[in-house]
Structure 1
Amino acid sequence: MSKKFSLATLAIAATLVVACGEEKKEEAAAESTTTTTEAAAPAASTTQEAAATPAPAPAEGDIVIAVAGPMTGDLAAFGEQLKRGAEKAIADINAKGGVLGRQLKLEIGDDQCDPKQAVQVANDLVKKGVSFVAGHFCSGSSIPASDVYAEEGIVQITPASTNPDFTEVPASKGVKTIFRTCGRDDAQGIFAGPWLAKTYTGKKVAILDDKSAYGQGLANETAKNFEASGGTVAIRDTYTAKEKDFSALISKLKDGAIDAVYVGGYHNDVGLMMRQAREQGFNADFISADAMNTAELWSISGPAGEGLRYSDGASAVNLDSAKAVVEAFRADKYEPEGYTLNSYAAIQAWAEAATKAGSIEGAKVADALRAAPIPTVLGDLSFNEKGDLTKVNYAWYVWNKEGKAVQEPLN
């Protein structure tokens, strides 16, 4: 049974219950009941007494929403960020009365950043009747899962997937229910490429990727913008994700006298790559992107991670809009790093849009998301027709010797 059919059935049943309760009143009252998408309204009455005390609409159950990502596996640190953000957002929203007078209930999907598993997770969440999904994390998972959600008319907002195809392809097919609360690889490439060309003028730069949708997208866009700014890529290579020995690749970089290495990939590989590079006496600068935004990187790299630079959206932890939420996280001994606030904002934006639309129907919520800026912990978010943010402020972060990633001042 589809979600849309279930809601309609509940609405009709609710109308019948109200009508039966009004049988002893004037016959006109039973004939004036009104049904909406979300719930049946009380039956109208021509008497002053009924107008003053209308019959209450029957309460509906919880609204089921979900967060999906790598809750287990090598990238579980990011799944934890998404889950923490989702749980906190739901707790805060429910404490204020929920959405449309109903409480939110969270389902958690674990895809381990595996595309096939992501599709299975998406199908399972549909069967559980979810009205919204915050996720997934990896672009390679979010993209195939989005086909499932789009077919069901379910709004999906990823807090982390940056591959342009996540929104570009659905938009080209007329799909309006796909969004993200993060930037895109092409935008990061525009930010990183020219910086590399300026910083390493006359020096040798290598660009690597892990063959994933995320890694390739970042590396390709950065290389394109690096070359457009006058740079020349000395080595363009790939590696296998979750590799345990990068000796051959490091030897190739050493032999090429590389001064800087840009890596499109995830923190677990980059952390290990840097550690092995330093052990082998290869001291080139390493530069990457937003997937380095987790404290787990340092636990893998150790002191070898010092100096690693990565691009990401400017941190929201110091924004006035995030102050109360950040303080609450820290009071619970949790630092809202990485995509925690992006996940919180995804649910916050959906809830606000549903409230404005007066409905949890996907198409109506999607229209409301695009209609006007939505206030969130990340600030006021505006979405374009493709579902992308209209503005993302990027910044550089650098890991210091204390094992902390420090944001550099914005230009």
Structure 2
Amino acid sequence: MRRDGAVAALWLVAGALLCAGPARADVVVGVAVPRTGPIAGIGEQVLLGVQAAARDVNARGGIAGEPIVLDVQDDACDPGQAVAAAERFVKAGVRLIVGHVCSSASLAASDVYAAAGAVMISPASNAARLTDRGLPTIFRVSGREDDQGRLSATILAERFRDKKIAILSDDTPLSRNLADSTKANLNKIGQNEALFAAIAPGQTDDAALIKRLQAAGIDVVYYGGHYQEMGRLVRKAAEQGYRPQWFGTSGIATKEFGVLAGPASDGVLMTFNPDLRRKPEAAAAVKAFQAEGVDPDGFTLYGYAALQALAEAGNFAKSTDPKAIAETLHAERFNLVLGNVGFDQKGDVTAPGYVLYVWRDGAFGYAN
């Protein structure tokens, strides 16, 4: 089955759950992801994972004996829309949420959830401030930006010590924070970048930027933003005969980057969370996805893990109460597709952080 067919099949499952209505279940789980806007591709990955996890959890009896009903909201990776979605959930009495994806959206919405005592578990947001505030009901199954920045700086220093490095960011929190963290850690190691610059997504003159990089003799371009901007830059630079070593982040962990960059994506480096498809604990979930014609790449299994964690905590506590689930998430360890993990007092998952990947033939895999 092609991916679009698989998506339709999973939506039939989700639709059946939604049509059943909350009256048939005590457990409504809100799902807040970007279904429109600049990173809808990553939102699709997360949603597929959540839908599959809901199906599997319900097959085993749901949470504390009650089946899950999904309430899906689109936040478009926008803080204002994220707050609106959070307020809709809270008004409807939804107190268990998987989301959001973008750090800016998660930061804005998390205040609403925390005030209402709702549990939010993000599958993808890596802003350190999300959990550093110590909000007791806010969690994530993905890594932190400061960990990603440290790894990026180490790789740059070890592999490209004698090269001219440019560090680029855009005006999103993800990009700014990753670029700042990478720069700070690189400088701490004793290596300075040749160029540190911010660009405006969708408004930057690509030709002028590429010319600037070329004129500065840049050998390595680190970009802390999302796949649309970087994919376009990589492709256009190659078309102009400029092929530096490109280095991206978790913001390009979707096959759409390979489509946008085309053959020029070959050799692009990227830091991202560990590939859960390789985890033995994820084997059953991966097999089920593959039977539907879906490759659960990128953030798909992180969406699965987020809902799985809520269900495991609820079943351990024998409760659907958000306070009990939050306390259990902080206190216990769980067998998830991530492995056997827990959550620290900040709400960060105890799973390993980030890994170096390389793009080949429109897909990404572990780098040597």
TM-score by length of 1: 0.82
Tell me the matched-pair count: 346
Of 73, 76, 82, 1:109 maps to 73
Aligned position for 2:85 = 121
Aligned position for 2:157 = 197
1:390 and 1:243 map into 2 onto residues whose CA distance is: 39
Q: Residue 64 of structure 1: SS of its match in structure 2?
A: strand
Of 114, 118, 127, 1:154 maps to 118
Residue 329 (str. 1) matches residue 289 (str. 2):
yes
Aligned position for 2:100 = 136
C-alpha RMSD over aligned residues: 1.4
Of 258, 271, 293, 1:311 maps to 271
How far 1:74 moved relative to its partner? Answer: 2.4
2:287 and 2:139 map into 1 onto residues whose CA distance is: 27
Residue 283 (str. 1) matches residue 239 (str. 2):
no
How far 1:304 moved relative to its partner? Answer: 1.4
2:352 and 2:208 map into 1 onto residues whose CA distance is: 37
2:154 and 2:43 map into 1 onto residues whose CA distance is: 32
Residue 250 (str. 1) matches residue 210 (str. 2):
yes
Residue 353 (str. 1) matches residue 317 (str. 2):
no
Q: Residue 317 of structure 1: SS of its match in structure 2?
A: helix
Are the aligned partners of 1:82 and 1:339 in contact in 2 as well (CA < 8 Å)? Answer: yes
Seq. identity, %: 39
How far 1:243 moved relative to its partner? Answer: 3.8
How far 1:371 moved relative to its partner? Answer: 1.2
Aligned position for 1:403 = 362
How far 1:393 moved relative to its partner? Answer: 4.1
2:259 and 2:238 map into 1 onto residues whose CA distance is: 16
Of 152, 167, 189, 2:131 maps to 167
AA of the residue aligned to 2:86: A
1:60 and 1:295 map into 2 onto residues whose CA distance is: 38
How far 1:62 moved relative to its partner? Answer: 3.2
Q: How does 1:39-50 map to 2 (within 5 A)?
A: none
Q: How does 1:4-403 map to 2 (within 5 A)?
A: 61-169=25-133, 171=134, 175-243=135-203, 245-400=205-360, 402-403=361-362
AA of the residue aligned to 1:108: V
Are the aligned partners of 2:254 and 2:297 in contact in 1 as well (CA < 8 Å)? Answer: yes
Going from structure 1 to structure 2, the CA distance change for 1:162 and 1:393 (only over 3 Å counts) comes to: closer
Q: Which has the larger radius of gyration?
A: 1
1:220 and 1:192 map into 2 onto residues whose CA distance is: 11
Going from structure 1 to structure 2, the CA distance change for 1:111 and 1:351 (only over 3 Å counts) comes to: same
1:80 and 1:186 map into 2 onto residues whose CA distance is: 26
AA of the residue aligned to 1:373: R
How far 1:245 moved relative to its partner? Answer: 3.9
Does 1 or 2 have the higher relative contact order (CA < 8 Å, sep 6+)?
Answer: 2
Q: Residue 211 of structure 2: SS of its match in structure 1?
A: helix
Q: Residue 28 of structure 2: SS of its match in structure 1?
A: strand
1:84 and 1:391 map into 2 onto residues whose CA distance is: 22
1:328-370: CA deviation from partner (whole Å, max 9, x where unpaired): 0011011111111111111111111111222222222111011
How far 1:119 moved relative to its partner? Answer: 0.6
Are the aligned partners of 1:197 and 1:227 in contact in 2 as well (CA < 8 Å)? Answer: no
AA of the residue aligned to 1:112: A
Gaps of 5+ in 1: 1-58
AA of the residue aligned to 1:209: S
1:262-290: CA deviation from partner (whole Å, max 9, x where unpaired): 10100111000111111222211110111
AA of the residue aligned to 1:378: L
AA of the residue aligned to 1:328: A
Q: Residue 276 of structure 2: SS of its match in structure 1?
A: coil
Are the aligned partners of 1:150 and 1:177 in contact in 2 as well (CA < 8 Å)? Answer: yes
Q: Residue 195 of structure 2: SS of its match in structure 1?
A: strand
Are the aligned partners of 1:78 and 1:339 in contact in 2 as well (CA < 8 Å)? Answer: yes
1:2-51: CA deviation from partner (whole Å, max 9, x where unpaired): xxxxxxxxxxxxxxxxxxxxxxxxxxxxxxxxxxxxxxxxxxxxxxxxxx
Q: Residue 221 of structure 2: SS of its match in structure 1?
A: strand
How far 1:96 moved relative to its partner? Answer: 1.0
The structure with the greater share of residues assigned to helix is 2
Are the aligned partners of 1:133 and 1:155 in contact in 2 as well (CA < 8 Å)? Answer: yes
How far 1:299 moved relative to its partner? Answer: 1.2
2:63 and 2:119 map into 1 onto residues whose CA distance is: 15
Q: Residue 242 of structure 2: SS of its match in structure 1?
A: coil
Gaps of 5+ in 2: 1-22
